[in-house]
Amino acid sequence: MQWRGGGGLANMSTLDTPRSTNLKQRRAQSIAVTLWMLAVLFFVRVLGQAVQCWVPQSFLPPFSAFQGSGLPYPFLLSAQILILLIMGRTALAVSLGAVGPTGSRRKFLQVFGLIYLGGSLLRIVLGLTLPAAHPWFRAWIPEFFHLVIAAYVLTWATYGKFSGENLQHISKFAR
């Protein structure tokens, strides 16, 4: 056992045993894998829409099925690429053992993720329950991937809860 932070009874919460460190490492690694899986899922969506825009394939849904809004595709694609870059950067940082979002940043991500998830679920419920709902509520592909992004944000915020001073190198990639 190691005492971190100066010892004494006041610091008993910082007791770090090999077992607890191993559990934290596995938890962090599973969060990293989850982030990568969600990022790859979103990448497949972006790629599918791009393929349908430039070289349509019969085995994929039509381009319009990917388009959930009236946003011109070049702007949408730019935003999606930016989102993918952020997803890749944060997933890589988690994989390498970087400290996750803490404090107010983590709280912001939690609140934002929950609001985003709630809005996405509301959109799905309205699309399913209102027969005369606007087509925006029935665009299933974008709706599903909004859930993917919300899950990514909430997973990243969760990682922030487990990272910090006791998790210096949580991944085999950091060694």
Token pair recorded at residue 100: 């996750």
Q: Are 20 and 12 in contact (CB under 8 A)?
A: no
Mean pLDDT, rounded, for 90-108: 91
Mean pLDDT, rounded, for 130-151: 93
pLDDT, position 26: 86
Domain ranges in the chain? 19-169
On the question of pLDDT at 130 being above 60, the answer is yes
- In sequence order, what are the residues at sequence separation of 6 or more whose Cβ sits closer than 8 angstroms to the Cβ of residue 87? 35, 38, 39, 42, 152
Q: Are 51 and 57 in contact (CB under 8 A)?
A: yes
- CA 23, CA 12: separation in Å to the nearest integer? 18
Report pLDDT digits (tens) over 4-25. Answer: 444 444 444 455 566 666 777 8
pLDDT, position 56: 96
Mean pLDDT, rounded, for 107-116: 97
DSSP 61: P
Q: Which residue has the higher pLDDT, 69 or 119?
A: 119
> Number of helices (H) and strands (E), helices first, in the chain?
5, 0
Single pTM value for the model:
0.81
Q: What mean pLDDT is reported for the chain?
A: 84
Number of other CB atoms surrounding residue 95 within 10 Å = 20
On the question of pLDDT at 155 being above 70, the answer is yes
Q: Are 24 and 166 in contact (CB under 8 A)?
A: yes
Torsions phi, psi of 116, nearest 5? -65, -45
Q: With CA atoms as reference, report the closest residue to 159 among 25, 22, 20, 8.
A: 25
pLDDT, position 80: 97
Q: Which amino acid would we find at residue 150?
A: A
pLDDT, position 84: 98
Lowest mean pLDDT segment, chosen from 56-65, 97-106, 151-160: 97-106
* Band of residue 54 on the pLDDT scale cut at 50, 70, 90: very high
